[in-house]
A and B are shown apart, each in its own frame.
Chain A
Amino acid sequence: MPTSTSKYQYVACDPTKCVGCQICEYVCSHNKNGEFNTYRSRIRTVRAHKILMTAVTCRTCEDAPCVIACPRDALKQDPVTGIVRVDASRCDGCAWCIEACDFGAISINPASKLAEICDLCEDEEDGPQCVKWCPKEALELTTPDRRAQRARHKLAVEEVIGS
């Protein structure tokens, strides 16, 4: 059983590849809620600037702050996958988890009034739908370990080979 977040998977976005089309939001909301509605997507795009765009969803933090913050113990983090699941019978939509999440990765579903957090489409055979649909392959299912390794390689190549 993994004991560190470096093995927890999450969906990350590469802002150099993201073009801001929002297709990820449509397929997520349809998959989870049966309609195309960006207010009901668990992945959210953001355009910070004309040419700076990216998408954000749950980072499967270790000792997830959202779990700690919930006053009704409605959030539970899976120790194997790191996925945070919402207990509908306990959640009252108070949004403390949203306050606690530094990434803005949690939303309250306006219809059900429950907190919604990305679950990596664990019920789908082909995995996260957003990753499947992203036309520019900007989204990937990854782990902190792999991201760190890529950064190290990139740095080494730049420093030694200079490109």
Chain B
Amino acid sequence: MYGYSGKILHIDLTTRKTRVETKPEEWYKTYIGGVSMASRLCWENIEPGCDPLSPDNPICIAGGLFAGTPVPVGGKYGMASKSPLTGFIGDSLSGSWLAVSLKRAGWDGIVVHGASDEWVNVFIEDDKVEFRDASHLVGLTTTETEETIREEFGDDQVRSATIGPAGENLVRMANVSNDGRKAGRCGQGAVWGSKKLKALSVRGTQGVTVADPETLLKLSYDILQAAQGPHTQKYRILGTSSNVLNMNKMGLLPTRNYQQGVFEDAELVSGEYLHEHYKAKTIACAQCPIACEQVGHVKEGPYAGAMGHIEYESLYALSSNCGVSDMEAAIKSIANCNELGLDTMSTGVTISWALECYEKGVFTKEDFKCEKYPEGFEANFGNGEAVVTLTEMIAHREGYMGDLLAEGTLCSSAQVEEERATETYKWAMNVKGLETPGYDARTLKTFALGLAVGVRGGCHNRTAAYDPDIKGQVDRFSVDETRGKLAKSTEEYAAVYDTLPLCKFIRRCFTGKADRAGAWPAIAELINATTGWDFDYDAVDLIGERAHTIKKAFNIREGWTRENDALPWRWQHEPMEEGPSAGHVVTDEELEYLKDIYYEAKGWTNEGLIPKEKLSKLGMEDVAEEIGV
């Protein structure tokens, strides 16, 4: 087999034993890699119904088909486990070198079982596995951990995935970092922390060979050239932060915990402003010829020295959504999250919930006591220093507030309801427990559907249904009978990229058109040149449906029902009062109708369950046996 070693490595942290599992080629053709393979491994290895922070919840890592080859943006890997935030599948992607090291070490996937008694750094060198003491790494930031390990080995090519203090403290939105990139959402870091896995280091010394290197090189070169032109302009020059002003203009920019959609100081926290005043450099992940990471650097002032990768989703969550107009505070908050190992989105949206609680009198100044501010502080919207401090408090579970917010909006609001009998759930912005992204869905009706049915929760990336809404291909303010098929189409399209994986930013660089017709044939060629298989348009298209289905099946087995496909209370009951998107909500009627037509489009029952024949047709007979109807 080209493109794969044919081996999955199982590591048991309880017994410190390892074993190798081989899979047939058909399994690889079905699940490929990335989120699909990771979710499938999770399906196979989890104890259904287990607590996400228990030893029975495995960490499943799946490599990238194109990792370690010159295929542009192929240097990514997928990770899945049961999410501590949602109790459903938590699938994440991360870019850069770890994916390459995994491939070169000769592993298609890694499953980590059990839990260690002591903090451990698992080191994989080709086929050798070592359990190294990690007690000296505890408390270190993600960057410090990586660099310390690299120093220990004296080799730049030892790549590590690590957790920061947030993961160590089982913060539910902790992430896993590697090479400055993150397997960001769903709380992977907490799962690692529950296993006392501080770092996973990999050195792969083997070379990568492919079935048809000359074709692969030719295809890669053409894509690389195309990636320098207008097809990636928006990523290269200003990065994704250019969305701040775009969303603001349309009244979609989450402001003050999604109370408004227009932020009066949006210019000050925009990508344009970052570009002019704070951008240090644009850098790339492994194998990436685009280079979209805008690195922001604060040179002076109270946050001097803060350096962070500034993406739109990090920026809205920690600036406009918290009412903060100080770009330096935003960069510092983002840098904190990066270093302490926190998902910027969930952290920002949880903080904004807390700020609203404070302004509504649910919390007092004293509730925010911490070492830096022994009297507590006034946590109003717009208080940049409050947001910065809260990121630190959350990562360390410091004080009443740090410990509370570390649970995420779903659990925090439930806890506060118990303690103080309030209705803070009304502004807890999450879907299934995963905090909402940087687009207000009250007037993005297709997106609202995509989020509500999202298998990992409130994730924009997996549904991608905001695309037709924002681009005006459909009327974002209303609902019609096409939206079910549309939401199915966008999420399965995204899932193809998440499975190979390939970064979606390359999607126009194959032929200039990003639709299926423009991308799938080229992707089929890349797959075939790598593996020697015979994939065509349809086979590529199936990748996405399969990826999404295995995740859905996982959720069903973990107890998902139609009621779980819901939207935050605010989006259903509180219209915005001002701005281009004012006056709209997603009504119950709309939502239920959207769910009906979506399940129908997917070929599921009206309860959202999957018929046995459908699963069998997708090559998932064993799944059909367990949860098919």
On whether A and B touch (CB less than 8 Å), the answer reads: yes
Residues of A within 8 A of B (CB): 16, 19-23, 26-27, 29-30, 33-40, 46-47, 50-51, 53, 110, 133, 135-136
Beyond A23-B70, A34-B209, whether A50 also contacts B180 by CB under 8 A is yes
B605 touches A (CB below 8 Å): no
Beyond the given pairs A30-B213, A36-B207, 9 more chain A to chain B contacts, judged by CB atoms under 8 angstroms and listed by A's residue number, are A19-B282, A20-B283, A20-B284, A21-B286, A22-B287, A33-B207, A36-B68, A39-B157, A51-B295
| A26-B70, A30-B217 given; A136·B291 CB < 8 A | yes
Encode contact with A along B265-300: 1 for CB under 8 Å, 0 otherwise: 000000000000000111111111111000101000
Q: Which residues of B contact A35 (CB under 8 A)?
A: 207-209
Q: Which of B128-175 contact A (CB under 8 A)?
A: 143, 156-157
Query: Does B221 sit within 8 A of A, measured CB to CB?
Result: yes
Q: Which 6 A-B pairs have the closest CB atoms?
A: A35-B207, A135-B289, A37-B207, A19-B284, A19-B291, A51-B281
Q: B461: shortest Cβ distance to chain A, in Å?
A: 22
Residues of A with C-beta under 8 A to B287: 21-23, 26
CB of B69 closer than 8 Å to a CB of A: yes
CB distance A37 to B156 under 8 Å?
no
Measured CB to CB, the closest approach of chain B to A31, in angstroms, equals 9
Give the Cβ gap from A63 to chain B, nearest Cβ, in Å.
29
How far is the CB of A148 from the nearest CB of chain B, in Å? 26
B contact residues vs A (CB 8 Å cutoff): 68-70, 72, 97, 100, 104, 143, 156-157, 180, 205-209, 213, 217, 221, 224, 227-228, 280-291, 295, 297, 307
- CB pair B207–A21 under 8 Å, yes or no, is no
Question: Could you say which residues of chain A place their CB within 8 Å of the CB of B205?
Answer: 37, 39, 110
Most chain A Cβ neighbours within 10 Å, of B97, B282, B289? B289
Judging by beta carbons under 8 Å apart, are B289 and A29 in contact?
Answer: no
Query: Which residues of B lie under 8 Å from residue A27 when comparing CB positions?
Result: 70, 217
Question: Which listed residue, B68, B207, B295, touches A50 by the CB 8 Å rule?
Answer: B295
In the complex, how many angstroms separate the beta carbon of A134 from the nearest chain B beta carbon? Answer: 9
Question: What is the chain B residue whose CB lies nearest that of A27?
Answer: B70
User: Shortest beta-carbon distance, A106 to chain B, in Å?
Assistant: 16
Cα-based distance from A133 to B297 in the complex (angstroms): 30
Taking CB atoms, residues of chain A closer than 8 Å to B289 are 21, 23, 135-136
Among B213, B281, B289, the one with the most A-chain Cβ atoms within 10 Å of its Cβ is B281
Cα A34 to Cα B210 with chains together (Å): 10
Report the minimum CB–CB distance from B68 to chain A (whole Å). Answer: 6
Chain A residues whose C-beta falls within 8 Å of the C-beta of B156 in the assembled complex = 46-47
8 pairs, CB–CB < 8 Å, chain A vs chain B: A19-B283, A22-B97, A23-B287, A27-B70, A34-B213, A38-B157, A51-B297, A133-B70
> Complex: how many Å from CA A23 to CA B291?
12
Q: How far is the CA of A27 from the CA of B217 in the complex (A)?
A: 9
